[in-house]
């Protein structure tokens, strides 16, 4: 069935949304105001899913995508939109989440443009095989079909080179790739991490069991690449599920961490520790955190979900005391190490879940929250209600859980001063959100 449809807006998830005789129709790779012929692929009870059959009236912001596998590969969502327009779309989709999931009508500020290409400092590529051809790439959207990506435009150039050498190596040495359907074979993922400033690279190959010939891969790499690789690790992951790295590493050589430098501070980042994805956007975000927290000499600040301690360590020279809380041992150990190498002795890190460790605090001036995608636990909201910080900065990579949590924070007596956006993930629908919340006088709701 093919219908005529006008796209009204883009929703979180990157899909265009139009109305067909009262039915919501979602169309990937469309843009607002476009008039389309849409082929209906699936009819659900409350909505339909379609695909573009023909563009009748194109958006003036539609451009030709750079990547030949765009729309096949699930890595990017917005390559068909001019970069400046991507930023507008992201602002609109955050507004939409705030309104629909948080009942919050507050316009976020426009995100600043950052380098839109070759920015990712971490990639996790899938390995597969089709008719004796080895494939290394990303999954097609909503499937486990691997789309080979020879030159990925959001990967750093050096990651593409390493990936292409790896493909050649696997092919020449006839190494066994894991077959998800038949559950045979071994090698599953290629993971690369990189310090933008230091250029240090960690190379990780993931398989169900150790591949003794894997170390020979390093030998085939050219000198300029070898020099940058500070650690080569094999990760053993026999789990059938999607999780990519387990705790079980075998060191082939070098370290299991790399260094990054940001705003004159140095950070050790271990293979399993979190670090933000886009260097320039992270720099903008951290600078803004320092301004928005309004640092004062006597402040005690909590840096919740601290990771390797980035926000706390950079902020430490502006305030009296920082306490970072982190639940993962690897990131916690990095944070302790980073405190020492940067000589920040007014920062302390605690290992544990925020929802539990917060029991130990009664009064704190300011709190930074930067949870994972699932957002914050209800217990954390209750703790914030008890501790009553004057300022809360909530940073999130998920506008949906951000909107849900913000609604709860407003209910315990806070008001929004600003909501700002940082384009941590150009070419995708993802966006980093920063909200500043102020405690109302007496915390009384209007
Ligand atoms: C989005 S990252 C933010 C890290 C850091 N703020 C940064 O920008 O580098 C979230 C961090 O929270 C940690 N985490 C997840 N759940 C947690 C919890 N319940 N309590 C404390 N930390 C948690 C994760 O291990 C991860 O390091």
Q: Any idea where the domains of the chain sit in the sequence?
A: 1-62, 101-113+277-443, 122-262
For residue 99, give Cα distances in angstroms to 93, 102, 106, 141: 10, 6, 8, 27
Ligand 1 pocket check for 372: Cβ under 6 Å: yes
Place of tokens 């917005």: 78
Share of the chain above pLDDT 70, in %: 99
- pLDDT value of position 65: 96
d(CA 425, CA 115): 10
With a 6 A CB cut-off, is 342 part of the ligand 1 pocket? no
Using the atom order of ligand 1, give the atom closest to the CA of residue 273: 27
Given a cut of 90, is residue 389 above it in pLDDT? yes
The 10s digit of each residue's pLDDT in 20-56 is 999 999 999 999 999 999 999 999 989 999 999 999 9
Indicate whether 7 pLDDT > 60: yes
- Tokens at residue 3, please? 């219908």
Strand order across the beta sheet in which 366-369 lies? 347-351, 321-326, 300-304, 366-369, 391-396, 432-439, 414-422
Residue 239 in this model has a pLDDT that exceeds 80: yes
Tokens of 69: 């596998």
SS3 assignment for the chain: CEEEEEEEEECCCCCEEEEECCEEEEECCCCCCCEEEEEEEEECCCEEEEEEEEEEECCCCECCCCCCCECCECCCCCCCECHHHHHHHHHHHHHHHHHHHHCCCCCCCCCECCCCCCCECEEEEEEEEECCEEEEEEEECCCCCEEECCCCCCCCHHHHHHHHHHHHHHHHHCCCECECCCCECCEEEEEEEECCCCCCEEEEEEECCCCCCCCHHHHHCCHHHHCCEEEEEEEECCCCCCCCCCCCEEEEEECCEEEEEECCEEEEEECCCCCCCEHHHHHHHHHHHHHHCCCCCCCEEEEECCCCCHHHHHHHHHCCEEEEEECCHHHHHHHHHHHHHCCCCCEEEEECCHHHHHHHCCCCCEEEECCCCCCCCHHHHHHHHHHCCCEEEEEECCHHHHHHHHHHHHHCCEEEEEEEEECCCCCCCCCEEEEEEEECHHHCCC
pLDDT for residue 150: 87
Q: Which two tokens stand for residue 380?
A: 């954390």
**Cα–Cα distance measured from residue 153 to residue 156, given in angstroms and rounded to the nearest whole number:** 8
Ligand 1: distance of its center to the CA of 371 in Å?
5
pLDDT for the residue 6: 98
Distance 326 CA to ligand 1 centre (A): 6
Average the pLDDT over 415-428 and give the result. Answer: 98
Single out the catalytic residue among 67, 97, 344, 397: 397
Verify whether ligand 1 is closer than 6 Å to residue 370 (CB atom): yes
Residues near 422 by beta carbon (within 8 Å), at least 6 away in sequence: 111, 112, 114, 281, 282, 284, 285, 288, 431, 432, 433, 434
* Residue 382: per-residue pLDDT: 96
pLDDT value for 267: 98
Q: What is the mean pLDDT of residues 215-236?
A: 97
- pLDDT (tens digit, 9 = 90+) per residue, 308-367? 999 999 999 999 999 999 999 999 999 999 999 999 999 999 999 999 999 999 989 999
Supply the pLDDT for residue 242. Answer: 75
> Measured in angstroms, how far is the CA atom of residue 47 from the centroid of ligand 1?
35
Whether 437 has a pLDDT exceeding 80, the answer reads yes
Q: How far is the CA of 28 from the centre of ligand 1 (A)?
A: 31
pLDDT, tens digit (0-9, with 9 covering 90-100), for 55-96: 999 999 999 999 999 999 989 999 999 999 999 999 999 999
* CATH code of domain 122-262: 2.40.50.1070
Residue written as token pair 């093919």: 2
Per the annotation, the verdict on 397 as an active-site residue is yes
* pLDDT for the residue 443: 62
Q: Which CATH architecture has domain 1-62?
A: Beta Barrel (2.40)
At residue 444 the predicted structure's pLDDT band, cuts being 50, 70 and 90, is low
CATH architecture of 101-113+277-443: 3-Layer(aba) Sandwich (3.40)
Residue 446 pLDDT class (50, 70, 90 cuts): very low
For residue 153, the number of C-alpha atoms closer than 13 Å in the C-beta half-sphere is 17
Mutate to test the pocket of ligand 1, among 277, 281, 307, 405 (most ligand atoms within 8 A of CB): 307
Judge whether 101-113+277-443 and 122-262 match in fold: no
Residue 9 in tokens: 């807006």
Give exposure, 335-359, as e/b (b: 16+ Cβ within 10 Å): bbbbbeebebeebebbbeebbebbe
Other CB atoms within 10 Å distance of the CB of residue 295: 18
């Amino acid at each position: 069935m093919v219908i005529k449809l006008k796209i009204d807006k883009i929703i979180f998830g990157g899909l265009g949304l139009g109305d067909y005789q009262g039915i919501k129709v979602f169309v990937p790779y469309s843009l607002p105001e476009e008039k389309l012929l849409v082929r209906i692929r699936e009819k659900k009870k409350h909505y339909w899913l379609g695909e573009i059959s023909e563009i009748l009236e194109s958006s003036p912001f539609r451009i030709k995508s750079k990547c030949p596998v765009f729309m096949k590969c699930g890595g990017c969502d917005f390559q068909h939109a001019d970069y400046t327009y991507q930023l507008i779309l992201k602002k609109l989709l955050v507004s939409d989440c705030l309104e629909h999931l948080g009942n919050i009508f507050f316009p976020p500020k426009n995100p600043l443009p950052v380098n839109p290409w070759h920015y990712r400092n971490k990639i996790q590529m899938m390995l597969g095989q089709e008719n004796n051809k080895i494939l290394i790439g990303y999954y097609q959207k909503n499937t486990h079909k691997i789309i080979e990506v020879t030159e990925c435009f959001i990967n750093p150039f050096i990651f593409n080179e390493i990936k292409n050498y790896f493909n050649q190596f696997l092919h020449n040495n006839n190494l066994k790739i894991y077959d998800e359907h038949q559950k045979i074979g071994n090698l599953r993922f290629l993971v690369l991490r990189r310090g933008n400033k230091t250029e240090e690279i960690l190379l990780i190959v993931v398989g169900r069991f150790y591949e003794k010939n894997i170390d020979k891969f390093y030998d085939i790499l050219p000198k300029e690449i070898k020099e940058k690789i500070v650690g080569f690790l094999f990760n053993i992951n026999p789990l059938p599920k999607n999780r990519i790295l387990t705790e079980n590493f075998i060191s082939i050589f070098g370290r299991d961490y790399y260094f990054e430098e940001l705003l004159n501070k140095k950070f050790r980042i271990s293979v399993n520790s979190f670090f933000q994805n886009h260097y320039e956007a992270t720099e903008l975000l951290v600078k803004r955190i320092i301004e928005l927290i309004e640092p004062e000499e006597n402040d005690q600040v909590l840096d919740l979900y601290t990771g390797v301690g980035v926000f706390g360590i950079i902020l430490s020279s502006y305030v009296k005391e920082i306490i970072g809380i982190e639940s993962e041992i690897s990131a916690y150990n990095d944070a302790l190490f980073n405190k020492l190498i940067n000589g920040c002795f007014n920062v302390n890190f605690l290992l544990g879940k925020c929802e539990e460790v917060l029991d130990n605090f009664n009064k704190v001036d300011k709190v930074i929250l930067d949870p994972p995608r699932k957002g914050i636990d209800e217990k954390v909201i209750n703790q914030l209600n008890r501790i009553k910080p004057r300022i809360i900065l909530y940073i999130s990579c998920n506008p949906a859980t951000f909107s849900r949590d913000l609604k709860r924070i407003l209910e315990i007596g806070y008001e929004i001063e600003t909501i700002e956006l940082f384009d941590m993930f150009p070419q995708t629908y993802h966006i980093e959100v920063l909200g500043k919340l102020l405690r109302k006088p007496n915390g009384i709701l209007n």
